[in-house]
Structure 1
Amino acid sequence: MRFSSLQKKEVIELKKGSFIGFVQDATIDIEKGEIAQLHIGEIERSFFSDSKSKGVQKIQYKDVMTIGKDIILIENKRLNK
């Protein structure tokens, strides 16, 4: 799987069903050749104004439960800001 296929997918926390953000970047473990973390950008949505980025959270790739066509489900053990 290429990283470009993960970009811009919605990330949903599995237990609560809450929207976390969109995949923006990743940390790669060069020695293992694997994705170590996904960087999730939070977007503040408002009906009356433009969307604004609120910050970036990092989740461990091992916390990813499944990757679907449009979304990524994660087991939210802890989010790193």
Structure 2
Amino acid sequence: MTISELQVKDIIAIEDGSKLGYIHDLEIDTEKGSILALVIALKGKWLGLFGKQEELVIPWNNIVTIGKDVILVKSVRPKLTHSKEENPDSSQQ
């Protein structure tokens, strides 16, 4: 299977059947030549002044199956990064 074949498949969360989007990028282990994670650009999620798109990283072991038209994934949680000022739960020093 080629990267271009993966990029046209819908990414679907098995927990609720929601469509997450399409593969935007891959994280690859260059030493082993294996895929570590899929990177999904979340539709409609834009951050910052320069229009940086929010991304969802799905570890390869969270992929349930790769079908003809879809990739089913489980336990999808976005990696969020917040500064201490934005995170109300962070302890103040």
The AA in structure 2 aligned to 1:16 is D
**TM-score, scaled to structure 1:** 0.77
Unaligned runs of 5+ in 2: 45-51, 81-93
Aligned residues: 73
| Larger strand fraction of residues | 1
- Compare relative contact order (CA 8 Å, sep 6+) and give the higher one, 1 or 2: 1
The answer (yes or no) to whether the contact 2:13–2:76 under 8 Å persists in 1 is no
Question: Percent same amino acid at aligned positions?
Answer: 37
Aligned to 1:31: 31
The answer (yes or no) to whether the contact 2:55–2:78 under 8 Å persists in 1 is no
| Divergent runs of 4+, >3 A | none
Q: Distance in 1 between matches of 2:25 and 2:76?
A: 20
Alpha-carbon RMSD across the aligned residues, in angstroms, is 1.8
1:77: how far off? Answer: 4.7
Unaligned runs of 5+ in 1: 45-52
The 3-state SS of whatever aligns with 1:62 is helix
**TM-score, scaled to structure 2:** 0.68
Q: How does 1:62-81 map to 2 (within 5 A)?
A: 62-81=61-80
